[in-house]
Structure 1
Amino acid sequence: MALVSGTVRVSVPATSANLGPGFDALGLALTMRDRLSASVLPAGLVIEVTGVGADSVPRDSSHLVVRCINRALAELGEEPVGLPDSAVGLKLTCDNVIPHARGLGSSSAAIVAGLALGRGLVVGGDMLMTDDELFSLAAEIEGHPDNVAPAAYGGFVIAGHEGETFYAAESPVDPSISVVVFVPSTPVETKVARGLLPATVPHAEAAANAGRAALLVAALAGQPSLLLWATRDWLHQDYREPAMPESLALVRALRADGLAAIVSGAGPTVLAFAASKADRQALVSRTPEGWVSYPLDVDHNGVVVS
Structure 2
Amino acid sequence: MKEGDMLKIQVPGSTANLGPGFDSVGLALNRYLTLAVTFAENWTFKPVSEEVANVPEGKENLIYKVASKLAEKHSVNLPACYVEISSDIPMTRGLGSSAAAIAAGIELCDRVCKLNLSDEEKIHFASKFEGHPDNAGASIVGGLVVGYLTDDHTYFVKVDNLDVDIIAVIPPYYLYTKDSRGVLPKTFKFQQSVKASAISNVLVGSIMNNNWELAGQMMEMDIFHQPYRESLVPELSAVRKIGKEHGVYGTVLSGAGPTILCFAPKGMRHSLRPKLKEAFPHCEVTQLEIDYEGTKSWFTHIESLI
Encode CA deviations 1:113-161: one digit per residue, 9 max, x unaligned.
1110111112x332xx222111111111111111111011110110112
Tell me the residue number matched to 1:246. Answer: 235
Q: Which amino acid aligns with 1:229?
A: Q
Cα offset, 1:179, TM superposition: 0.8
State how far apart, in whole Å, the 2-side matches of 1:209 and 1:59 are.
42
Tell me the residue number matched to 1:261. Answer: 251
Q: Percent identity?
A: 27
Tell me if the contact between 2:128 and 2:149 (Cα under 8 Å) persists in the aligned partners. no
**Which of the numbers 207, 211, 214 marks the counterpart of 2:201?**
214
Q: Which amino acid aligns with 1:275?
A: P
State how far apart, in whole Å, the 1-side matches of 2:259 and 2:71 are.
34
Within-5 A mapping of 1:1-306: 4-5=2-3, 6-41=5-40, 43-81=41-79, 89-122=80-113, 124-126=114-116, 129-174=117-162, 176-221=163-208, 222-232=210-220, 233-255=222-244, 258-259=247-248, 260-277=250-267, 279-285=268-274, 286-287=276-277, 288-306=280-298
Tell me the residue number matched to 2:302. Answer: none
State how far apart, in whole Å, the 1-side matches of 2:161 and 2:26 are.
12
Cα distance change, pair 243–225 in 1 and its aligned pair in 2 (3 A): closer
Cα offset, 1:253, TM superposition: 4.3
* Number of residue pairs matched by the alignment: 291
State how far apart, in whole Å, the 2-side matches of 1:106 and 1:180 are.
18
Cα offset, 1:211, TM superposition: 2.5
Tell me if the contact between 2:140 and 2:294 (Cα under 8 Å) persists in the aligned partners. yes
SS at structure 2 position matched to 1:53: helix
Cα offset, 1:294, TM superposition: 2.1
State how far apart, in whole Å, the 1-side matches of 2:53 and 2:151 are.
40
State how far apart, in whole Å, the 2-side matches of 1:101 and 1:247 are.
17
Encode CA deviations 1:36-57: one digit per residue, 9 max, x unaligned.
121211x123321122434311
State how far apart, in whole Å, the 2-side matches of 1:162 and 1:140 are.
8
Tell me if the contact between 2:253 and 2:261 (Cα under 8 Å) persists in the aligned partners. yes
State how far apart, in whole Å, the 2-side matches of 1:64 and 1:276 are.
37
Tell me if the contact between 1:212 and 1:229 (Cα under 8 Å) persists in the aligned partners. no
Tell me if the contact between 2:246 and 2:272 (Cα under 8 Å) persists in the aligned partners. no
Q: TM-score, structure 1 length as denominator?
A: 0.88
State how far apart, in whole Å, the 1-side matches of 2:241 and 2:256 are.
17
State how far apart, in whole Å, the 1-side matches of 2:198 and 2:247 are.
20
Encode CA deviations 1:53-79: one digit per residue, 9 max, x unaligned.
343111111011122222232233223
SS at structure 2 position matched to 1:28: strand
State how far apart, in whole Å, the 2-side matches of 1:220 and 1:244 are.
26
Cα distance change, pair 252–236 in 1 and its aligned pair in 2 (3 A): farther
Cα distance change, pair 34–55 in 1 and its aligned pair in 2 (3 A): closer
State how far apart, in whole Å, the 2-side matches of 1:248 and 1:117 are.
40
Q: TM-score, structure 2 length as denominator?
A: 0.88
